[in-house]
Copies of this chain bind each other. A is one copy, B any other.
Amino acid sequence: MPKRVGLRDIAEALNVSITTVSRALNDKFDINPETKKVILEKAEELNYRPNAFAVSLRKNEYNTIGVILPTIDHYFFSTVLKGIMNKAHNSNYLVLIGESGHQTDKEQQIMDQFINHCVTGVIISTTVGSEVKDTLEPLRRRRIPFIQVDRPAGDKDDPYVRYDDEKGAFLATEHLIDRGFKKIALIKGPDICNISNARLSGYQLAMEKYNLPFDPRFVKSGNNIDFAENGYHLARQVLLAKNRPDAIFTITDELATGVYRAAKELNLRIPDDLGIVGYSNSKISTHLSPPLTTVEQPGEEMGEQAFDFLQQSIIGNASDLSKTFDARLIIRDSSLKSIQILNSIATNG
């Protein structure tokens, strides 16, 4: 491995001091234009690049942000990351990234690594686990700014960028009710997952508002909400019971795809026999047949917003750095019961 060329190499080659070389390369004023020209040429010739480690150390400016996500090969999170990186690149920040794999200990390990690397700020989507306090503690202690994404888990005043999950679920449920569905089941995640809970809550609110009974047998919980297989099994459970629902709201699009399969197997037409609404507007949703009605979740925007907030926080802007993105429903065919059926219900009801 050839040694990196440094200021010293340029200096020695030209018989000037390191200081002078530094001055030339950094556009300082007190330098002879003549000398500067020669130095710049030499630097170009030797392909000199400043050692960012040395520069950062000396200037005490480490333009680095860390991003910790539970998983990276997941459409929502990868778009969040994309949003962060777009902005970060423009602001000349370096992006370190870590994947916690939903494991709190790994999350903390990564955080440790980040702190060693003097990150100026952190964007994190915390694990569903409980010891989140310990994850954020090292940041707080060192006053390292951080923004939580999607899963605020810290104190109420910790800045975050999230989505109005409750309202999203409310809109989804309300929409189903609107279209004439009455027995709406919910397929959700584990009880410790606060996102799942928020969506459950939105579902309940809508049911209450329209005086529909809340039937616990219509609420099924799965472990992995990103796994279509789970949606399939839970859908079967609820569809094979004697009092089967006429619509299912799943808290992710992946679960919904499982429901599609179950419905097909049981010869239930979508949406006439079974209305379906998903959540996240992932790529799959447009490609299902019929296309899936779902709740929008603008990952890229959220990522960009998170970075903006982080930057504000870094430069010491103390204003409110939290934002809840408003929920929006994307209506497609999976929830649009055909007019005839809708009418017959209307006349019969």
Instruction: Identify the A interface with B (CB < 8 A).
Output: 1-2, 4, 47, 49-54, 56-57, 62, 71-75, 78-79, 81-82, 85-86, 89, 94-99, 106, 110, 112-113, 115-118, 138, 141-143, 228, 254, 257, 260-261, 264, 283-284, 286-289, 299-300
Contact = CB atoms under 8 A, between A and B. Distances in A.
Given A51-B118, A116-B49, A116-B50, A287 B228 contact: yes
Contacts of A260: 287, 289
A78 B85 contact: no
A283 B286 CA distance: 13
Given A53-B57, A53-B117, A117-B53, A82 B73 contact: yes
B89 A78 contact: no
B47 A141 contact: yes
Contacts of A47: 138, 141-142
A86 B50 CA distance: 30
7 nearest interchain CB pairs? Answer: A73-B78, A257-B287, A52-B116, A52-B117, A73-B79, A78-B78, A73-B82
Which residue, of A50, A106, A254, A286, has the highest number of chain B Cβ atoms within 10 A? A286
Nearest to A79: B73
Given A79-B73, A284-B284, A94 B96 contact: yes
Contact of A116 (B51, B81, B113, B115): B51
A225 to B, nearest CB: 14
A96 to B, nearest CB: 6
Contact of A57 (B57, B116, B287): B57
A57 B55 CA distance: 10
Given A2-B143, A95-B96, A95-B97, A49 B112 contact: yes
Nearest to A110: B89
